[in-house]
Structure 1
Amino acid sequence: MTTSSIRTLFITKEVPYPPVGGASLRTWQNINIMMKFGPVAVFSASNWTPKSTSLPGVELWKHSNFAKQRSNWENLESRLWWLNSRRHPDADWAYTKTAAQELDETLIKFQPDVVILEEVWLYPYLSVVKKHKCHIIFDNHNVEASLWQQRYHAVQGLKSKLKAKIQLDHLKSIESDFTKQVSQVWVCSEDDVSLINKFYGQVSPTHVVPNGINVAHYDCVRSSEYSPETGLENTKRNVLFLGQLSYSPNTVAAELLINQIYPRLRELYPDSRLLLVGRSPTQFMLDAAKRSPGIIVTGSVPDVRPYLAAASVMLVPLLQGGGTRLKIVEAFAAGCPVVSTAKGAEGINAEDGEHLLIREVEELVAGVCQIWTDPFLGEKLARSAYELVQAEYSWEAVSCKVKKAIHKLF
Structure 2
Amino acid sequence: MVRTLFITKEKPYPPAGGVELRNWQNINIMMQYGSVGVFSICQWSASSQVPAGIDFWYPYTLAKSVSSWENWKRRAWLLRPNAHPDVDRLYQQAAAKKLEKVLAEFQPDLTIVEEIWLYRYLKIIKRQKCRIIFDEHNIEADLFEQKHGALKMRLPRLKSIELDFIRKADQTWVCSEEDVALVKTLYGRQFQPQAIPNGIDVASYDCVRLEQCNPPEGFGEKQHNLIYMGTFSYPPNKVAAKLLIEEIYPRLRKSNPNCRLLLVGRSPTKSMLQAAELEPGIIVTGSVPDIRPYLAAASVMVVPLQQGGGTRLKLLEAFASGCPAVSTTKGAEGLNVTDGEHLLIRDEIEAITEAVEQLWSKNALVEKLTAAAYELVKAEYSWEAVSKRVDQALQQLL
CA shift, 1:80, in A, is 1.9
**For residue 99 of structure 1, what is the aligned residue in structure 2?**
95
**For residue 218 of structure 1, what is the aligned residue in structure 2?**
205
Alignment of 1:277 with 2:264, yes or no, is: yes
Q: How many residues align?
A: 397
The residue correspondences of 1:8-407 to structure 2 (distance < 5 A) are 8-68=4-64, 70-153=66-149, 164-362=151-349, 363-407=351-395
CA shift, 1:345, in A, is 0.2
1:308-334, CA deviations, whole angstroms, 9 ceiling, x for partnerless residues?
Answer: 000000000000001000000010011
1:7-41, CA deviations, whole angstroms, 9 ceiling, x for partnerless residues?
Answer: 00000000100001100100000000000000000
Asked if 1 retains the 8 angstrom alpha-carbon contact of 2:46 and 2:61, the reply is no
Give distance in 2, aligned partners of 1:13 and 1:97: 16
1:58-92, CA deviations, whole angstroms, 9 ceiling, x for partnerless residues?
Answer: 10112211125732332332222222241111111
Which has the larger displacement, 196-205 or 351-360? 196-205
Asked if 1 retains the 8 angstrom alpha-carbon contact of 2:180 and 2:192, the reply is no
Give distance in 1, aligned partners of 2:384 and 2:18: 19
Aligned-partner residue type, residue 132 of structure 1: Q
CA shift, 1:46, in A, is 1.1
Give distance in 2, aligned partners of 1:365 and 1:90: 37
Aligned-partner residue type, residue 71 of structure 1: S
CA shift, 1:51, in A, is 2.7
Asked if 1 retains the 8 angstrom alpha-carbon contact of 2:183 and 2:191, the reply is no
Give distance in 1, aligned partners of 2:312 and 2:165: 24
Give distance in 1, aligned partners of 2:259 and 2:298: 11
Asked if 2 retains the 8 angstrom alpha-carbon contact of 1:180 and 1:203, the reply is no
Secondary structure (helix, strand or coil) at the match of 1:345 reads: coil
Which has the larger displacement, 85-94 or 113-122? 85-94
Asked if 2 retains the 8 angstrom alpha-carbon contact of 1:213 and 1:393, the reply is yes
Secondary structure (helix, strand or coil) at the match of 2:236 reads: helix
Asked if 2 retains the 8 angstrom alpha-carbon contact of 1:181 and 1:204, the reply is no
Gapped runs of 5+ residues in structure 2? none
Give distance in 2, aligned partners of 1:344 and 1:288: 24
Gapped runs of 5+ residues in structure 1? 154-160
Asked if 2 retains the 8 angstrom alpha-carbon contact of 1:42 and 1:61, the reply is yes
Give distance in 2, aligned partners of 1:116 and 1:350: 29
Aligned-partner residue type, residue 52 of structure 2: P
Aligned-partner residue type, residue 167 of structure 1: R
Aligned-partner residue type, residue 80 of structure 1: A
Secondary structure (helix, strand or coil) at the match of 1:67 reads: coil
Aligned-partner residue type, residue 283 of structure 1: K
Asked if 1 retains the 8 angstrom alpha-carbon contact of 2:174 and 2:194, the reply is yes
CA shift, 1:173, in A, is 0.6
CA shift, 1:120, in A, is 1.2
Identity, in percent, stands at 56
Give distance in 1, aligned partners of 2:112 and 2:190: 17
> Alpha carbon RMSD of aligned pairs, Å?
1.2
Give distance in 2, aligned partners of 1:203 and 1:152: 28
Asked if 2 retains the 8 angstrom alpha-carbon contact of 1:42 and 1:62, the reply is yes
Secondary structure (helix, strand or coil) at the match of 1:36 reads: coil
